[in-house]
C-alpha cells in the first residue's frame, strides 16, 4: 500500500527532506539513520513542530494574530493549500511555512496512526506556546518567574516531543507498548535537551527579550547578597554586565544543577530501548547535551557569544553513543568534569556534588 512506501522519490517528500536539512543541523543526521518508515514519520513530525516554533518565535507577529494561528495550528497544518508568508524576514525558517503544501500533502498521506500522534502532540504544544506567548505580549518580553513555570514551559516544547516519539516507537511495534506510559522518563529526555538549549542560548534569547532562566534561580537572595542587594539582580541582563562575572557563573551553576537532575531519568529511558537505530537517535542528542553543559559550566564566554562543542567532539560522541553502558560512562565523564570545575564557595556546590554523585551511582 501507499502507506508502506517511503516515498523518497516523490517531489513533495524530497522537498520535506530538503527542509529537514535546511532547518535542523542537530537532528537531520540522526533522523535519517532511524530504521524503516519511522525516519519519514519523524521527519514530518520535526517539520510540523519547526513550523509551529517559527510562528511562536516570531516577535513581529502581533498577539491578536499569533493567538489564532498557534491555537489552530494542528488544523492549519493538514489543511490542503494552507501556507503562511507573514513571518518576518528574520525568521530563518520562514520558507518552510511559505511552501507548507509539501508538508500537508505528506501528512495527509501518512498512516493515520502516526498522523494522529503528530497532531495530538502538536495540539497540546500549541496551546502551551500560545499561553506563554500571550503572557509575553503584555510586556513585550517573555519572563519565567518560577522553576515550576520553567518546567511547564519545557514540558510543552520538549517533554511532549519525547512523548510523541515514544508513542511512535510503541505504534510501530519496534519498542514495548508500555514505554509510551513512562511519562516521567520521556519528559526528562526532552527537558534535558531543552534546558541545555536554554542555558546555552541565554545571550541570544536575552537579546530578543526572551528570558527563559527563571527569576527564582537568578534572583535568589544568595546572588543578591553577593552583589550587595537584598533581592538579587534587578534585571537579568545584569548577568552579562561587567563586574558581575562571578555571580553570573553562580546563576549558571544553578541552571546547570537543575538540568543535571534529569540525567538519571534519561539514562533509565535509554536502558529500556531495544532497537539499535532508535537507541542512537535518542542517545546522541543526550550525550551532545551533556557535552554542551560541560562546555558552558564555569565558562563566562557563554554570556558574551555563541559557543558550540567542537566538531571532533561531536563526531566522537556520535560514534560512541551506541549502548546504555557507554552512554552512562559518557554522562559520568562529563559529570566528573563539571564537578572538578565547581568551586566550594558556589551556592550550588553541594547540590552539584549530589547531582554528579547520582550520575556516578547510576553506572
Ligand atoms: C521531532 C526530533 C528522544 C524520547 C522544532 C528531540 C524548539 C531542544 O532554540 O532547534 O528553536 O533553535 O536547537 C524534534 C526525547 C520542536 C526534544 C524544541 C522536534 C527527545 C519545537 C527536542 C523539534 C525529545 C519546540 C529543537 C526539543 O532545538 O531550538 C524532533 C526522546 C522542534 C526532543 C522546540 C527544541 C528542539 C528541542 P531553537 P533547537
Ligand atoms: Mn537551533
Ligand atoms: Mn526556536
Ligand atoms: Mn520557540
Ligand atoms: Mn534556543
Ligand atoms: Mn545560539
pLDDT digits (tens, 9 = 90+) for 244-286: 888 899 999 999 999 999 999 999 999 999 999 999 999 999 9
pLDDT reported for residue 244:
86
Extended strands (E) in 52-152: 142-143
Nearest to 218 by CA among 26, 348, 31: 348
Q: Which atom of ligand 1 is nearest to the CA of 53?
A: 21
CB crowding 266-297: b at 16 or more within 10 Å, else e: bbbbbebbebebbbbbbbbbbbbbbbbbbbbb
**Measured in angstroms, how far is the CA atom of residue 131 from the centroid of ligand 3?**
16
Kindly report, residue by residue over 187-242, the tens digit of the pLDDT: 999 999 999 999 999 999 998 889 999 999 988 755 555 555 545 566 788 888 88
Question: What cell was used for 197?
Answer: 538549549
Q: Which residue's CA is the closest to the ligand 1 atom numbered 23?
A: 46
Q: How far is the CA of 197 from the centre of ligand 5 (A)?
A: 5
Phi-psi region of 147 (alpha: psi -120 to 50; beta: other; left: phi over 0): alpha
**Residues of the chain predicted below pLDDT 70:** 1-6, 221-234
Which residues is 142 bridged to in the sheet? Answer: 210
Q: Ligand 1 centroid vs 336 CA: distance in angstroms?
A: 26
Nearest in space to 54 (alpha carbons), one of 117, 123, 129, 137 = 129
200 is catalytic: yes
Calpha distance 27→158 (Å, rounded): 14
- Among 269, 281, 303, 331, the active-site one is 281
Among protein residues, the one with the nearest Cα to ligand 1's atom 4 is 162
Q: Which residues contact 34 (CB under 8 A, 6 or more apart)?
A: 42, 277, 278, 281
Cell of 112: 493515520
Q: Is 202 in the pocket of ligand 1 (CB under 6 A)?
A: no
Question: Among 179, 135, 139, 138, which residue's Cα sits nearest to residue 156?
Answer: 135
Q: Is 153 an annotated catalytic residue? A: yes
Q: What is the ipTM of this complex?
A: 0.94
User: Does the Cβ of 194 fall within 6 Å of ligand 1?
Assistant: yes
The closest residue, in CA terms, to atom 25 on ligand 1 is 157
Is there an atom of ligand 1 within 6 Å of 121 CB? no
Cell numbers for 36, please give them. Answer: 524503516
325 carries an active-site annotation: no
> Which listed residue (153, 233, 269, 279) is catalytic?
153
Q: What is the pLDDT of residue 3?
A: 47
Amino acid at each position: 500500500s501507499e502507506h508502506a512506501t517511503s516515498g523518497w522519490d516523490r517531489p513533495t517528500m524530497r522537498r520535506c527532506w530538503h527542509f529537514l536539512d535546511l532547518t535542523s543541523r542537530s537532528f537531520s543526521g540522526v533522523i535519517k539513520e532511524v530504521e524503516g518508515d519511522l525516519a519519514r514519520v519523524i521527519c514530518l513530525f520535526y517539520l510540523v513542530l519547526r513550523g509551529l516554533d517559527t510562528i511562536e518565535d516570531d516577535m513581529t507577529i502581533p498577539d491578536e494574530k499569533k493567538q489564532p494561528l498557534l491555537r489552530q495550528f494542528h488544523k492549519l497544518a493538514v489543511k490542503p493549500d494552507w501556507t503562511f508568508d507573514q513571518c518576518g524576514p528574520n525568521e530563518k525558517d520562514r520558507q518552510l511555512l511559505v511552501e507548507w503544501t509539501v508538508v500537508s500533502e505528506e501528512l495527509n498521506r501518512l498512516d493515520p496512526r502516526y498522523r494522529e500522534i503528530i497532531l495530538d502532540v502538536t495540539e497540546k504544544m500549541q496551546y502551551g506556546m500560545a499561553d506563554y506567548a500571550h503572557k509575553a505580549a503584555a510586556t513585550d518580553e517573555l519572563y519565567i518567574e518560577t522553576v515550576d513555570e520553567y518546567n511547564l514551559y519545557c514540558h510543552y516544547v520538549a517533554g511532549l516531543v519525547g512523548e510523541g516519539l515514544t508513542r511512535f516507537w510503541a505504534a510501530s511495534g519496534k519498542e514495548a507498548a508500555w514505554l509510551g506510559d513512562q511519562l516521567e522518563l520521556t519528559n526528562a529526555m526532552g527537558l534535558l535537551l531543552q534546558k541545555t538549549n536554554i542555558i546555552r542560548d541565554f545571550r541570544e534569547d536575552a537579546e530578543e527579550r526572551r528570558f527563559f532562566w527563571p527569576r527564582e534561580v537568578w534572583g535568589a537572595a544568595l546572588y543578591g547578597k553577593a552583589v550587595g542587594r537584598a533581592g538579587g539582580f534587578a534585571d537579568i541582563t545584569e548577568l552579562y554586565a561587567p563586574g558581575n562575572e562571578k555571580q553570573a557563573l553562580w546563576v549558571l551553576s544553578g541552571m546547570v544543577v537543575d538540568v543535571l537532575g534529569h540525567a538519571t531519568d534519561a539514562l533509565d529511558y535509554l536502558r529500556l530501548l531495544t532497537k539499535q537505530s532508535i537507541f542512537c537517535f535518542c542517545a546522541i542528542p543526550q550525550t551532545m547535551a551533556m557535552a554542551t553543559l560541560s562546555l558552558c559550566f564555569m565558562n563566562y564566554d557563554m554570556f558574551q557569544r555563541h559557543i558550540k562543542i567542537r566538531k571532533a567532539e561531536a563526531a566522537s560522541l556520535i560514534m560512541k553513543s551506541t549502548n546504555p553502558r557507554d552512554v552512562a560512562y559518557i554522562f559520568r565523564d562529563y559529570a566528573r568534569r563539571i564537578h572538578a570545575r565547581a568551586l566550594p564557595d558556589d551556592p550550588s556546590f553541594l547540590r552539584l556534588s549530589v547531582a554528579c554523585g547520582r550520575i556516578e551511582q547510576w553506572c
